Amino acid sequence: MNHEELSPADDPSETDRPGESDEGAAVLPFRVRFRKNSAAAPVGEDGSVYVDPDEIELPDDEGTDDEDEGPREGELVDPPPSKDVLTPAEKRAAKSAARKPVLPEWARSTDEFKAVATWAAGHYCMVSAYHAVRAPLYVGKVAVYAPRGAWRWSNGVRRWVFDSEGAPFRAAAARDEDIEEYLKLTRVRNARVRLRLIVATIAATVLIVAGTLLAVALSSFLWWSTVVAVLMLLGQVGMPADQRLIDPARVRFRHRKLSADIVTRAFVAAGLTRPDQGLTFPRPITQEGNGWRVVLDLPFGKTFTHALKAQEQIASGLDAAMTQVFLDRDPSSARRVSMWVAKEDPLAVPVGKSPLITTDRVDFWKPFPWGRDERGNEVMVTMLWLSLLIGAVPRQGKTFSARTIALAAALDPHVRLYVFDGKASPDWRKFDKVAHRIGFGIAPYNGIDPVKVLIAALRELKADVESRYQRLSELPVSVCPEGKLTPELSRNKSLNMPLTLVVVDEVQEYLQHPEHGGEILDLLVYLARVAPAVGVSLETSTQKPDDKACPSVLRDQHQARFSLRVGSWQVSDVVLGAGSYSEGLDASRLLKSHKGVGLLKGMSDDSGIVRTYLVTGEDADRVLTRARALREQEGTLSGSAAGEVQPAGEASDLLADVAAVMPATAAKLWSETVVDRLAELRPEIYGPWAEMEQKAKATQLATALKPYGIETGQVWLKTEDGSNPNRRGVKREEVLAAMAARKRSAS
């Protein structure tokens, strides 16, 4: 910017004017001195001084020249404190804005004042009524406890007057026969007792005289109220320590402001800092949700992990329950702890009904509300591209939390649902309105074996997943840009690739099935491992996912874990994945009252507490009715819900099949012959076996039969050409014995 133009003082045309003008001196602006270089500061059109921001010498710029020279001796190491840049006017404005009103709000407004007064009157009337009703009780209490109080009080006086404090010392001296000591103590005691007797006598005289005078002088009402007061005092003294003469009319809540002093005290008590060291608070303590947010820096060398280990002591130091204190890691420093202290146990507060109950439809491609975290923030989850494992002890809300997710899926008409419930409870029954495949329990009912239905459904899913991969890779890039399922593709009915949710509640019932457990496990592992990538998500729940109920081969394939209350931290680690405990995730700390509350891990980057929304059975029924209507409208009702008879997978019962291919005439058979005959019997299952080499066939059969306790030993048979080689084979009697043993264990 050209200063010459802006500055009228330097304008050559103007300089001539004073000489020419007859009217006296022209008005010239003052030259403003600016900084040391005393260049004329240009003046704007409104007369204000123009300052080019580029020209201002900032204090920070000084010394930049000798930056390369390194620090010099005697120079200050810390940077100079930043100066307050507020102008006096701004300071005044800020201060007047921060002024508090002389009278509080309620005292200034007439309506408010009336409301407060009415409330106060009502409140104290109620308190008075409360005590008036209990007055006879108070009289009884005084009658019982006042004599005891009088006895206690007089005993106290006696002990004081006769120096009972020193009695043990005198007795000790007597016991040790330390006569000198005894005499000394006795002299001290005598002097003391003499003085105290005098005091006590004077006090008693004064009391008696005063009492008599009061009885004469005071009106009878005042006298009796004095007597009552004294009796109440004695009654209070005579009370047991845990009782009170007068019940409080209201329950006093621990509702206090959390201050830095209290926090420091708690951390000192927890051994995380020393009283002389204290804590630093980089941010003031603020309210957040229904609690306080405290950000603090531990002393140097103490870490977040220390704080996590001392969580219980911190809670005790804050005079709060452990479930009220939440410690979060702060990424900016290892010694910084972000702590949230709830005003009441947030997990025991019911979170309320699910918004799904009133939602018309859900887009399963987007996150949907599942619950709230401990601070009341909504937790949105999505089942896309992952499988979820839910674990908890019974009666803790496992099924309900799993069902809320399935309900969200039901409300998206383009999601195909497979629902299987191992314990045949009523919780999942209503899903027959929408589910593609459904089954309850493990026992056959009405001619349908749910286990066979499950096997058929899982095989169907496996085939579907394989074909999805095939078709997705064949689709043109314009339709399927990344070789992944897209919302458009999933909703295209001709492609038949909808998002699919497979729910298996109480999965251990199926996995421990004596006959088909192994195959179900294999299929589930396949689905958990491969299927999420093409839009088939698996949701399983179990009580205690140990190696028998839910083997690690299946457990570890679940990316997302949700653990409600469990028995111990080890079980919590099994559900949530190894190492969760050391991260501070321990579901065994949850209480029995924390129903539907659990720790979620792996759903998003951060893991934490979710209080799942409640959907009761009735509400679920209503939601499912609506979901069915939605599906009918969209024409996506399929499978079981559309009235189709579910295919019952002919269970591949290997033992029975082997027995079937071994006629009673053949006591033993070579493994390869057995495999060939099996492939003829059921090509869809044993077909691949028959394509192997001879040796591999035998090995395959051996491994398949091993779980049943059948070993393939050397079997000597004749071939057609007359030779009689010794090959691996199966004995019929062993197969029959294994079948009998299985039948016994099943019944």
Partner 1 sequence: MTLLAASSSPALPLSVVAVLAALAALSGYALLCAVSPFARCKPCEGNGKTRKRGTSPKRGWKTCRRCKGNGLRLRIGRRLFHTTRATGEATRRLHKAGTR
Least distance to partner 1, CB of residue 169, Å: 13
Query: For residues 433 and 438, what is the distance between their CA atoms, to the nearest angstrom?
Result: 10
Binding-site ranges for partner 1 (CB under 8 A): 171, 174-175, 177, 179-180, 182-183
Task: Please identify, using beta-carbon distances, which residue of 181 and 653 lies nearer to partner 1.
Answer: 181
Torsion angle (degrees, nearest 10) of CA 409, 414, 420, 425: 50
Residue written as token pair 């009441």: 344
CB 546 within 8 A of CB 574: yes
- The nearer residue to partner 1, 167 or 681, going by C-beta atoms, is 167
* C-beta of 185 vs 279, nearer to partner 1: 185
Residue whose pair of structure tokens reads 């048979």 in the numeric block: 717
Q: Which residue number, 163 or 619, has a Cβ lying nearer to partner 1?
A: 163
CA dihedral sign, ordered 598, 603, 607, 610: negative
CB 478 within 8 Å of CB 540:
no
Do the bridges between strand 608-612 and strand 368-372 make them parallel or antiparallel, or are there none, so unpaired? antiparallel
Nearer to partner 1, 172 or 204 (CB): 172
Query: Rounded to whole angstroms, what are the CA distances from 395 to 88, 593, 596, 597?
Result: 66, 11, 9, 12
> Contact 342/291 with Cβ under 8 angstroms?
yes
Report yes or no: 356 and 369 within 8 Å, Cβ to Cβ: yes
CA nearest neighbour of 400 among 505, 501, 500, 502: 505
Measured from the CB atom, the residue of 182 and 340 that comes closer to partner 1 is: 182
Question: Minimum distance between the CB of residue 180 and partner 1, rounded to whole angstroms?
Answer: 7
3-class secondary structure, 96: helix
For 196: left if phi > 0, alpha if psi spans -120 to 50, otherwise beta; the answer is alpha
Tokens in use for 273?
Answer: 């800092």
Q: Give the nearer residue to partner 1 in terms of CB position, either 179 or 209.
A: 179
Outline where DSSP puts E strands in 262-411.
286-287, 291-297, 325-329, 336-342, 368-372, 378-381, 388-391
CB of 178 to partner 1, least distance (A): 10
Closest distance of CB 159 from partner 1, Å: 16
Is 177 or 261 the residue whose CB approaches partner 1 more closely?
177
Give the span between the Cα atoms of 617 and 212, in whole angstroms: 75
Nearer to partner 1, 173 or 258 (CB): 173
Q: H/E element holding 720?
A: none
Residue 648: how many other CB atoms lie within 10 Å? 19
Q: How far is the CB of 163 from partner 1 (least distance, A)?
A: 14
Nearer to partner 1, 86 or 183 (CB): 183
- Which of 185/651 has CB closer to partner 1? 185
- The residue (of 169 and 581) whose beta carbon lies closer to partner 1 is 169
| Minimum CB distance to partner 1, residue 181 (Å) | 11
- Smallest separation, CB 231 to partner 1 (Å): 35
Count how many residues are written for the chain: 747
> Are residues 731 and 720 in contact, defined by beta-carbon separation less than 8 angstroms?
no
Output the smallest distance, CB 182 to partner 1, in A.
7
Which residues on neighbouring strands pair with residue 391, listed in sequence order?
A: 542, 563
To the nearest whole angstrom, how small is the minimum distance from the Cβ of residue 187 to partner 1?
A: 14
Which tokens belong to 23?
């009217």
Dihedral sign, Cα of residue 729, residue 732, residue 737, residue 742? positive
**Nearest distance in Å: CB 174, partner 1:** 4
Amino acid, res. 723: S
170/336 with CB nearer partner 1: 170
DSSP state string for 260-298: HHHHHHHHHHTTSS-TTT--B-SS--EE-SSEEEEEEEP
Asked if 291 and 375 touch (Cβ cutoff 8 Å), the reply is yes
